[in-house]
Structure 1
Amino acid sequence: MVGLVVVSHSHTAAEGIVEIAAEMAGETNIEPVGGDGDGGIGTVPDDIESTLATADDGDGVVVLVDLGSAVMNAEVAIEMSDVEAVIADAPVLEGAVNAAVAATSPDATLSSVREQAEAARDIDKL
């Protein structure tokens, strides 16, 4: 099953997004990661890398990120990791929910889950 990692500058925000997405995720492994390691705001590549390993069960991981430097640090973490992972260019909350639903499909692939996460860019709120 494709896993998910939510990267936020705030660990609390990442946990909240995971909590919401998990309502739709069935057995999908969704892991939060964020903060600077000292309780502050930021992201740390080493923390992201270890979270990728936790989320992966062999089918890869789709990563959702909140802001610019989270993208950069997630890219570094993916390069350091042995896990097959891709970053979705998606709004983090809506993308996480879409990805969680997509990952429950028995036919889910890294590509199909990423595509569904990215489809969240087109969701109208009003």
Structure 2
Amino acid sequence: MVGLVVVSHSARAAAGIAEVAGEMGGDTRIEAVGGDGQGGLGTVPDDIETALAAADEGDGVVVLVDLGSAVMNAEVAIELSDVDAVIADAPVLEGTVNAAVTATDPAATLETVCEAAEAARDVDKT
């Protein structure tokens, strides 16, 4: 199964997004990571790398991020990791929900889960 990692500058935001997506994502492994490691806002590549390893069940991991430097730190973590992972260019909450639901399909691949996350860019809310 494809796993997910939610990266936010706020640990509480990442956990909340993972909680919402988890309600719809069945057994999809969703790891939340955020904060600067000292209780403040930020992201840490080592923490993201740890989350990648925890989310990986062998089919890869889709990473969803909130802001620019989270992308940079996620890229560093992916480079350091042995996990097959990609960053989705998607809104973090809606993309994580879409990805979690898609990942429940036994035929899901890293590509299809990432595409589902990125499809959330076009969802109208009203």
Q: Which bracket does the TM-score occupy, shorter chain normalised?
A: over 0.9
Partner of 2:9: 9
3-state DSSP of counterpart to 1:106? coil
CA separation in 2, counterparts of 1:100 and 1:58? 16
Q: Match for 2:82: what amino acid? A: D
How far the C-alpha of 1:29 sits from its partner, in A, is: 0.2
* Residue 47 (structure 1) aligns with: 47
**Which structure 2 residues correspond to residues 5-84 of structure 1 after superposition, within 5 A?**
5-84=5-84
Q: What is the deviation of 1:35?
A: 0.1
Q: CA deviation at 1:74?
A: 0.1
Deviations 1:87-117 (A, max 9, x none): 0000000000000000000100000000000
Q: How many residues align?
A: 126
CA distance in structure 2 between the partners assigned to 1:20 and 1:57 by the alignment: 21
Amino acid at match of 1:6: V
Aligned to 1:89: 89
Counterpart CA distance in 1 for 2:97 and 2:57 is: 19
Q: Give the CA deviation at 1:77.
A: 0.2
Give the counterpart letter for 2:85 in structure 1: A
- Structure 1 unaligned blocks of 5 or more: none
The amino acid of 1:40's aligned partner reads: G
CA distance in 2, matches of 1:26, 1:46: 27
* SS, match of residue 7 in structure 1: strand
Q: Which runs of 4+ in 1 moved over 6 A?
A: none
Query: Counterpart amino acid of 1:36?
Result: D
Q: Where do 5+ consecutive residues of structure 2 fail to align?
A: none
Cα deviation 1:45-99 (Å, max 9, x = unaligned): 0000010000001110000000000000000000000000000000000000000
Provide the secondary structure at the position in 2 that maps to 1:23.
Answer: helix
Distance 1:57 1:95 in 2: 20
Rounded to whole Å, the distance in 1 between the matches of 2:4 and 2:69 is 19
Q: Percent identity?
A: 78
